[in-house]
Chain A
Amino acid sequence: MFQKALDFLERSGIGEARLLGGEPTLHPEFPRLVQLALERGLRVQVFSNGVMPEPALRCLESHPAERVTVAINTSPGDAGQNEAFARLGNRVALSFNINTPAFKPAFLLRLIRRHGLSPRIRFGLAHPAADASNRFLHPLRYQAVGTRLAGFLEAARAAGVEVSFDCGFVPCMFPPGILDSLGPAASGIGSCCSPILDILPDGCVVSCFPLALLAREPLPEGENAQALRGRFTAKLSGYRRLGVFRECGACEARQSGPCNGGCLAASIGRLRRGPTARQIQRLGYQSV
């Protein structure tokens, strides 16, 4: 299966294999999988929680940062990651997944300085799974997150740390003027929700994890990523009428292009079915 996935990357002209999970370093054949990707001439990026078994650590530290990088998702006081930080050094870029507006990102700068990590931080928003069974950040809290991030960006810039944003961030969550000062880092904000294509161990490929229930099919033989993205985009195009906020439908940034309405999974979370009998009763409507 892994070789098929590498074939897919090759014929799609994608130069990097991204290994994510779960925790990919726990795979018993992790070192071999990394080696297979490298032998194809691909760069490897591993998304990890930073607590990894010795064979995985040894494997990752044996390759140069130009070929193998590790995005470690961290949180304050996570001492279990220190060994990975110490041994992998500048192969590591920090990743921080926001699931509450009360996050405190200053510790990220301290970690980078203390361990000589790559001076980059990637912020992500915790998006709802298609069945909303996970802990995610509700869009109503985006603005509070944007305000807090805005306060951090100045400190990051002063420390020479580059900040980037994963999918789902929208321009309206930030205070006015902040995006202009972000430069290239702001370029994807509002527009990067598109089929990222995650290949699962069962041989299926999904638009992304949160949309796994809606857009999923077996990894196609002979087809490339562009064709598959096109098919997923078409399949999900109806849902694209929605945005994460009720106001998205009338938003100029959405209509003129800079914003596509944010995370599609979060938008789909706004969909509802008919009210329950109890809701009808509470609203004072008669059920005839």
Chain B
Amino acid sequence: MTEYQAAEHVRWAVEAGGVVLIDCATGAATTLGYPQAAIWDFLTRGEPEEQICAKLCAIASLDPAAARALVRETVAALRDAGLVTRG
């Protein structure tokens, strides 16, 4: 199981509609709505992908395959943007 964590230079704040991530190295902002914001929250708490998928099924009423696809897609996007690193 793969674990990710917020990159060292990333800070974030919870907003009414999701989470705003700030890359402190560049000042760039990324907004995540839900349920991607929930994925971010779980990632930054050090939860592995499988566990996140299971929780996402419950909170977003997704079937396991859809939850897994969403988590993988979100994590890949965050990783490509340099916002998360492997824990």
B45 touches A249 (CB 8 A): no
Q: How far is the CB of A9 from chain B (nearest CB, A)?
A: 27
What number of residue pairs across chains A and B have CB atoms under 8 A from each other? Answer: 73
B13 touches A288 (CB 8 A): no
Within residues 263 to 288 of chain A, which ones have a CB less than 8 A from any CB in chain B? 267, 270-275, 280, 283, 285-288
Given contacts A275-B45, A285-B46, contact A239 B29 (CB under 8 A): yes
On chain A, the residues within 8 Å of B51 by CB distance are 288
Q: Say yes or no: is A237 at the interface (Cβ < 8 Å to chain B).
A: yes
Q: How far is the CB of A194 from chain B (nearest CB, A)?
A: 16
B22 touches A285 (CB 8 A): no
| Distance of A286 Cα from B16 Cα, bound (Å) | 27
Given contacts A285-B46, A288-B3, contact A271 B17 (CB under 8 A): no
Within residues 4 to 35 of chain B, which ones have a CB less than 8 A from any CB in chain A? 5-6, 11-18, 20, 22-23, 26-29, 31
Q: Say yes or no: is B44 at the interface (Cβ < 8 Å to chain A).
A: yes
B47 touches A250 (CB 8 A): no
Q: Say yes or no: is B64 at the interface (Cβ < 8 Å to chain A).
A: no
| Distance of A249 Cα from B27 Cα, bound (Å) | 18
Name which residue of chain B comes closest to A288, CB basis: B48
| Distance of A247 Cα from B17 Cα, bound (Å) | 8
On chain B, the residues within 8 Å of A186 by CB distance are none
A273 touches B22 (CB 8 A): no
Q: Say yes or no: is A242 at the interface (Cβ < 8 Å to chain B).
A: yes
On chain B, the residues within 8 Å of A248 by CB distance are 15-16
B48 touches A250 (CB 8 A): no
Given contacts A235-B27, A249-B16, contact A287 B46 (CB under 8 A): yes
| Distance of A288 Cα from B48 Cα, bound (Å) | 8
B20 touches A242 (CB 8 A): yes
Given contacts A238-B28, A238-B29, contact A270 B45 (CB under 8 A): no
Given contacts A242-B20, A246-B16, A249-B16, contact A285 B45 (CB under 8 A): yes
| Distance of A28 Cα from B13 Cα, bound (Å) | 45
Q: How far is the CB of A104 from chain B (nearest CB, A)?
A: 33
Chain B CB within 10 Å, residue with most, of A238, A243, A280, A287 = A238
Name which residue of chain B comes closest to A273, CB basis: B11
| Distance of A219 Cα from B12 Cα, bound (Å) | 31
Q: Say yes or no: is A236 at the interface (Cβ < 8 Å to chain B).
A: yes
Q: Say yes or no: is A32 at the interface (Cβ < 8 Å to chain B).
A: no
On chain A, the residues within 8 Å of B17 by CB distance are 249-250
- Which A residues have a C-beta under 8 Å from some C-beta of B? 214, 235-243, 246-251, 267, 270-275, 280, 283, 285-288
If A238-B22, A249-B20 are given as contacts, then 6 extra A-B residue pairs at C-beta distance below 8 Å, sorted by A number, are A241-B22, A246-B14, A271-B22, A272-B13, A273-B6, A286-B47
Give 3 closest A-B pairs by Cβ, nearest first. Answer: A249-B15, A238-B29, A271-B11
